[in-house]
Amino acid sequence: MEVQELFVKMALTSWYDQLNRSGKLFDSLTDGELEQHVAPNRNTGKYLMGHLTAVHDGMIPLLGLGEKLYPELELPFIKSPDSAQTNGMKISELRASWAKVNQTLSSKFEDMSTEEWFDRHNSVSPEDFIKEPHRNKLNVLLSRTNHLSYHRGQLIFLQKK
C-alpha cells in the first residue's frame, strides 16, 4: 500500500468510526431526549442533529460530488444558532435526513480514487491550491471528522445513565 492510500484509509476509518458512534448515539436517544439542551444555555440534541446533517450535506458540493440533498437545513442549522426556527422540524425527519446524507456520502466516498482525495476542494481556487496543496478533499474529511467528534461529545450528556 502506498503512503497516500494509507493516509486515505486511515482518514476514512476514523470518519466511519465517528459516524457509526454518532449514529448509534442518535439511535439510542429518544425524541424527548433530543429536545433537551446538552447543558444549560447550550444547543439541543435536535439542533446538533440538524447541524451535523446540514454540515455533512454541505460536504457533497464542497467535495465536488453533487448538489446538497437538503439545502433548506442550512439557514436553521448552520447560519442560525439553536432557535425557534427549528421548532417546526420533526425529529423523525431529521433522523431520516441524517441517514440519507451519510449513506449518500458513503456511496460517493467508495467511488473516489486516492488521487481525488488529494485534489482541491471547491472552496479553494486553483491559484490558492498551488500555494496551499494541503487544502484538499482529504483535509475536509479530517476537519469534518473532528467536528463530528466534538459534537458527539456534547450529545453524550443527553444519555440517561
C-alpha cell at position 99: 441517514
Has this prediction a pTM greater than 0.85?
yes
Tens of pLDDT, residue by residue over 3-62, are 999 999 999 999 999 999 999 999 999 999 999 999 988 899 999 999 999 999 999 999
Q: What is the per-residue pLDDT for 81?
A: 78
Yes or no: is domain 3-15+32-158 CATH 1.20.120.450?
yes
Q: What is the per-residue pLDDT for 87?
A: 66
DSSP state, residue 108: H
Three-class SS of residue 83? coil
Tens of pLDDT, residue by residue over 116-131, are 999 999 999 999 999 9
Domain ranges for the chain, please list them. Answer: 3-15+32-158
Q: What is the per-residue pLDDT for 84?
A: 62
C-alpha cell at position 80: 442560525
Q: What is the per-residue pLDDT for 137?
A: 98
